[in-house]
Amino acid sequence: MNAGPWIGDADDGFWVRGGDYLTGFREAEAAALAFNRAVLKAGCDAELIRATPHVGPRGEGVVWLSPSAVEMVAQFLDSVACGHKRSA
């Protein structure tokens, strides 16, 4: 899978000396892997909906999704939520 172009925040170029970036990345990597496995299990196109692990400038784990992937996941969640709403 292609990771696509680099997209980051303005402060991604600034790092905190002594920050624990590896732990944050590992957490983000595990979360992204779990999300991507769920996407495949649901039968979705893993090229369209793909989580990418990243680490923020302070060492926090971050998982990126493209705007179109977020819209697809939101539509899916809306459709699931509609089926589980209770009658008032």
Domain ranges of the chain: 15-84
Q: What is the pLDDT of residue 87?
A: 47
Q: What is the pLDDT of residue 17?
A: 74
Spell out the per-residue pLDDT of the chain, length 88, in tens: 444 454 555 555 666 677 788 999 999 999 999 999 999 998 988 889 999 999 988 889 999 999 999 999 999 889 888 777 654 4
Contact between residue 62 and residue 56 where contact means Cβ atoms under 8 Å apart = yes
Does the pTM exceed 0.85? no
Q: What is the pLDDT of residue 80?
A: 85
Q: What is the pLDDT of residue 15?
A: 67
Q: Is the dihedral of CA 6, 11, 13, 18 positive or negative?
A: negative
